[in-house]
Amino acid sequence: MKFKLEQIDPTSEAAKGIADGLAHYNLRRLGSRDLLPLCLAARNSEGEVIGGLLAITIWGWLLIERFWVTETARGQGLGSALLQQAEFDALARGCHHATLETFSFQSLPFYVRQGYEVYGQLDDFPLGQSRYSLRKQLGAYTGSDSVGRGTDQVRNVMTGNEAPEAVYLALLHSTTLDMLDRRDFSELLQVIVDRAGEILEAELAELMLLEGDELVTVACSRNQSQVLGDRVRRGQSLLSWRALDSGLPALIDDYSTWPGRRDIYNANPVHGVADFPIRIGSQSIGVLAMGRTLPDRPFTPAEVSLGMRFSMLAALVIDNARRDERVRNELAQRQAAEVILRQQNSELDAYARTVAHDLKIPLTTLIGMSRLLQAGNAMPEAARQQAIDAIYRTSLKMNQIIEALLSLSQQRLNHPAKLTSCEPSLIAHEASERLANRIVETSATVRIEPDLPAVQAHGPWLEEVFANLLSNAIKYGGKPPRIEIGGLRLGKQVQLWVRDHGPGIPESAQSQLFREFSRLDDNAVDIEGHGLGLSIVKRLVEAMMGQVGFDNPPDGGARFTMLLNAAS
């Protein structure tokens, strides 16, 4: 047969035809459905709806479709009353089972306490959550013949007032899965408090962990947020410390009349109280404190037993989370150490390149003069003496460079150098002499302003800064390079600069200045260098409590500046 598929309006005749078709099919095979709605509502004294249940009865089953209680009315028995009344009405209609569905973020523990068992689970519906299908066999009603709407006329269809052991175990199991699924530690602590309140039917709950000689509230039920972060020493919260020290539950039937009560709980009058120790092995690490706001509801022995089992479970989960957090912290520290190690290796490589770069020029001079001396007796005595003097001066300069580099290595190892009063004009001349051969080879002119203001600096480092800035200016300062070294006093500081008259620094390259292995012009293949000079300048100036900068003057060129403290 041929057919066509299309989307339709759920209120259309086509949709009605589909529903009627299925209803007629079921009717032919099963007979009447006996489908009847069953709806309950609860109102407060002002007439406002604070809870309710929407269900149907069909084929001997109670199908609960909607069940809601406002947050302000939870934990006071209203949910149980609604559910039990619906079950009673369903029994009166001849139903033998009830079924409903709930989500992992809703009230699974509540339904389990009411005797429902999970027979189906659909994970990731919605994503990250689970949907549970539950059912319950309805028992015979044993209450009064005249049925009203309220807890006093409706009795629990289960035996006694406590759920059987199997229900508790199922509840603890589902709670364990829920807690183990939490990755954030603070979220886990809140889940422990929330689940404890549901399991023990306590409106008030707080979790205190031991920190030093104090018990600190790290999570609490949302209706007593005033206690979050509360810290108590011995003598301030007698019941909690008793539970912690003894390793046994500490109980009060009516906390509101107890002489040792604390004023912090006056906002929510507390009656029945049970504090359970949280223990890892033989050591108590905290207390799970539970409280009820309704009078005449002390914790029963069965509930105390359940509370102790839950506190043992909470201890295992907290200990597991702490171990997991320690492992994550150790991994994070190890990764951070690896980053630092890679950075240190990079800096060490940069330092090695700096050493080679700064020693290359004087070594070239020494090699050249040595070859002249090896030429033999044909060399005039005056020239021979001049070569010896050049070797001596170059050796002294190499020694100064090595001292500066050793000083730089100390700075890399966070060993601060002593800052003293330095004369920038004299130190700039020293740096210029280091580059004398380069200056001659490139026909560069270097003009140094005399009597620049004195600064607080470390002499070898300041010379290294000038040498690097001069080297860059010779490379990029035009042909031939024209270089100026100047400065002026700005209050308690002195601004020094090295300026060239080259093409300036393009805007695209400005963000890379002062970074290691960044060159001002990567297309200048005829210019030697490793891209280390400006990163060294920045490191050394900052080590001397100063700042580096640059600009492109309006009349051309580039100007690198350093701002240092003026000498007193």
What tens digit of pLDDT does each residue of 473-523 get?
998 888 899 999 999 999 999 999 999 998 888 877 777 777 654 444 444
Check for a shared fold between 200-325 and 418-565.
no
* pLDDT at residue 387 greater than cutoff 90: no
pLDDT at residue 520, as a whole number:
45
Q: Please state which of the ranges 166-170, 434-438, 454-458 shows the lowest mean pLDDT.
A: 166-170
Q: Please tell me which residue, 249 or 402, carries the higher pLDDT value.
A: 249
Q: Give the CA distances from residue 163 to residues 87, 135, 170, in Å, rounded to whole numbers and listed in that order.
A: 17, 15, 11
Q: What does the DSSP assignment read for 106-156?
A: S-HHHHHHTT-EEEEEEESSSTT-EEEEEEEE-----S-SS--SSTTT---
pLDDT at residue 354, as a whole number:
63
Average confidence (pLDDT) over 546-559: 90
Q: Which of 507, 501, 459 lies closest to 480 in space, CA to CA?
A: 501
Q: Find where tokens 């209120």 sit.
A: 11
* pLDDT at residue 193 greater than cutoff 80: yes
Sign of torsion, CA 186 189 191 197? Answer: negative
For residue 229, give every residue at least 6 positions away whose Cβ sits within 8 Å of its Cβ, in sequence order, or none: 216, 217
Joined together, the tokens standing for residue 14 give 């086509």
Joined together, the tokens standing for residue 170 give 């199922």
Most confidently modeled of 54-58, 123-127, 327-331?
54-58
pTM above 0.75, yes or no: no
Q: Which of 227, 254, 229, 252 lies closest to 242 in space, CA to CA?
A: 252
Joined together, the tokens standing for residue 371 give 């070859």
Whole-angstrom Cα distance, residue 564 to residue 568?
A: 12
* pLDDT at residue 249 greater than cutoff 50: yes
pLDDT band, residue 406 (cuts 50/70/90): low
Residues above pLDDT 90, as percent of the chain:
31
Joined together, the tokens standing for residue 88 give 């009673």
- By CB atoms closer than 10 A (0-12, 13-18, 19+), residue 503 is middle
- Mean pLDDT across the chain: 81
* pLDDT at residue 319 greater than cutoff 90: no
H-type alpha helices, 413-458: 424-434, 436-441
Q: Give the CATH number of domain 200-325.
A: 3.30.450.40
pLDDT band, residue 567 (cuts 50/70/90): very high
Q: What does the DSSP assignment read for 272-294?
A: SEEEEEEEETTEEEEEEEEE-SS
Joined together, the tokens standing for residue 502 give 């080259």
Whole-angstrom Cα distance, residue 462 to residue 469?
A: 11
Whole-angstrom Cα distance, residue 550 to residue 534?
A: 11
* Ramachandran class of 2: left when φ > 0, alpha when ψ lies in -120 to 50, beta otherwise: beta
pLDDT at residue 334, as a whole number:
82
Whole-angstrom Cα distance, residue 93 to residue 112?
A: 24
- What is the CATH architecture of 418-565? 2-Layer Sandwich (3.30)
What tens digit of pLDDT does each residue of 82-106 get?
998 898 888 878 888 999 999 988 8
Q: Which of 143, 142, 156, 138 lies closest to 61 in space, CA to CA?
A: 138
In angstroms, the first-to-last Cα distance of the chain is 103
Average confidence (pLDDT) over 50-58: 94
Question: What is the assigned CATH class of domain 28-161?
Answer: alpha beta
Average confidence (pLDDT) over 225-233: 92
User: Where in the chain are the domains?
Assistant: 28-161, 200-325, 418-565
pLDDT band, residue 133 (cuts 50/70/90): very high
pLDDT at residue 531, as a whole number:
41
